[in-house]
Structure 1
C-alpha cells in the first residue's frame, strides 16, 4: 500500500538520485533539477517546502528531501531549535542515501548525528515540531539509529527508482 501525500499536486522528480548512479540532479544537463532556480523561502515548519521535504522523504527520495530542507535550514536563525530540527532531518535524509548505497558506516554516522540533534530538541517543549512531524523528535532519533543499525537490504533493482528504507512516516501521512 502506498503512502499518502502531503502535497499530491506536486510531481515527484523523475528519479531518486544516488551518488554515482545516473545524472547529478543539479550539475548534469540530464539531471531532474538542472537549471531549476532555487526558490527563496522563509524557514518554517508550516511552509510548503517543509511538507515537500516530508513527501520526498516518505517516498524514498532522500537526496531530494535533503535538498528541500537545506534551503529552509540556510534561512533559519543560527542556534534556533528550528535550525537544529532541519539539520537533523537533513542528516536523516543523508543516512537514507547511505543505506540505499549499502554504506553502513556513513549511514550510522549520519543517523547518529541526526539522533543527537533530535534528542537535544526533546529537552525543551516543541509541540509544533511533534505536530509537524507526527512523531516526537526523541522517538524519531531512536528510529533513525535503529534503522541504520539494522541496515535494511536494498530491494530496488531499477536504477533511479525511489526506495523507502525507513518504516516511519513524517507528517502523519
Structure 2
C-alpha cells in the first residue's frame, strides 16, 4: 500500500488559519498499489490536500455551529420552562386572589346576615313595644270604662241615698 505524500498541516495561532509546511512531505513507497497521488504532481496534490483540509475545517465549523444551535435550543427550552413556571406562579397567585375575594364575599354575606338578624331583632322589639303600647291602651280603656262604671255606680248610689234620705 502506498504512503500518501501529503504536506504537514500546521495551524497558525493568530488567525486560526491553516498553512502548509512544504518542507516536510511524507514519502511514498512506489512498490505498492497504484494510488491517485502517484500520478499527480505536487501542486495538484497540494490543491487536493488544501481542499480536504478546507472541507475538514468546514465540517468542524458546522459541528461547532450544530453544538451552538443545540445549546441555544436547550437554552430556549430552559426559558420556556421558566416562563411556564412563572405562568404557573401567576395562576397560583390569581387563584389565591380569587380565594381571598371569595372569602371577602363570604364575610360580607355573613355581615349582611348579621345585619338582617339585627334588623329582625329590632323589628321584633318594635312589635313588642307596639304590643305593650296596645296593652297599655287597652288597660287605659278598661280603666276609663271602670271609672265610668264606678261613676255610674257612685251616681246611682248617690241618687239612691239621696232619694232615700229625702224620703225619710
TM-score bracket for the superposition, by shorter chain length: under 0.3
More strand by percentage = 2
Higher helix share: 2
**TM-score, structure 1 as length reference:** 0.21
TM-score (norm 2): 0.22
